[in-house]
Structure 1
């Protein structure tokens, strides 16, 4: 059984748990207490030198960085659950294109918005609303491009769901739930919101949405 070292509610821990659910991979969550700073203790950084979660222990094979973990699990269990990474070279290239879109045209803007609006208040810091506005202004044309892409196909890499689609879920859900003004960013783009409702209602995500 894969051992997942993380914290149940964090975005990256839930992302790895999501992939385990999609691939029908049993996992054991090993709770890392962030409030006590366990991720910064020598015993932890000896394994994950950046002091970040999550990492996995797969029968002695240690791996960190959630995107790397997701790819590893998908490729190790190609015939289990949802495929998520195509094997055909052209289809895989389209997947890689979609994965880059997610990383550099979505998460690069949404993650810092969540940091300002969710993480800062959690630690007693006020959000920098000016920065949020700037990030949002940069994000909106990116989402117009999403809407255009999704007007032609069901998912970002074609007509089958891939890891590139699912990678949007942890930060995208936090963004969508910030309030009506943020939800409207998705809802006002018909192809984007159709896609979003599809992926955000997948049983695997609903199983880990509130905690890995």
Structure 2
């Protein structure tokens, strides 16, 4: 059975899971969920994803939701193929990976998600962005990226010298902030700019950045 990713092909976290599938050379199919019609809130969908969010996967009967958990699972299950080392197994390297993954989740994701919600999601709903809220979010994000600049001045990636899931977790929402909304958060941050170029130019991301 081919791995099923249940969600909308352009949904950001569906694309993240698809990117990891590409990295690990995992065949998959997107089982389309009409989120614009609220299908992800239906009882049939919530039987497998009780929060009514996309994506979840069906791996030969094994159901798993939460994109970061899905990505970790796929990397560990298919450890012997595709891009190596996305989740290190050496205790110290794994600890540094978990540190970097926590940095993404706590210090990047909330602010980038908020910007995407204001500038993209509201637009799709015919609403105006709260520009004061956007300014606040961007100020906070810039402060966090100043710390990224320090970290990335010492090493190539957030967890060390090799790319890991902690770096790839940034891809969907950083692309929104930098490329779609157009906030220049890379200015005067050459280390962050170099890192972003390295991860955003990966063939796996280029293959799914518009649609899984």
CA deviations 1:131-163 (Å, max 9, x no partner) are 011111111111011011101100000000000
CA distance in 2, matches of 1:117, 1:206: 23
- 1:114 counterpart residue number: 116
Divergent runs of 4+, >4 A: none
Query: Closer, same or farther in 2 for the Cα pair 1:168/1:33, shift >3 Å?
Result: same
- 1:22 counterpart residue number: 23
Q: Which runs of 5+ in 2 are unaligned?
A: none
- 1:160 counterpart residue number: 162
- 1:198 counterpart residue number: 198
Aligned with 1:8: secondary structure? coil
CA deviations 1:148-193 (Å, max 9, x no partner) are 110110000000000000000000001102454x1x2113200000
Matches within 5 A, 1:1-212: 1-83=2-84, 84-180=86-182, 182=183, 184-212=184-212
CA distance in 1, matches of 2:73, 2:49: 17
CA distance in 2, matches of 1:188, 1:152: 16
CA distance in 2, matches of 1:33, 1:179: 24
CA distance in 1, matches of 2:35, 2:143: 35
CA deviations 1:6-57 (Å, max 9, x no partner) are 1011111000000000000000110001122111111111111111110000
Offset of residue 125 of structure 1? 1.0
RMSD across aligned C-alpha pairs, in angstroms?
A: 0.9
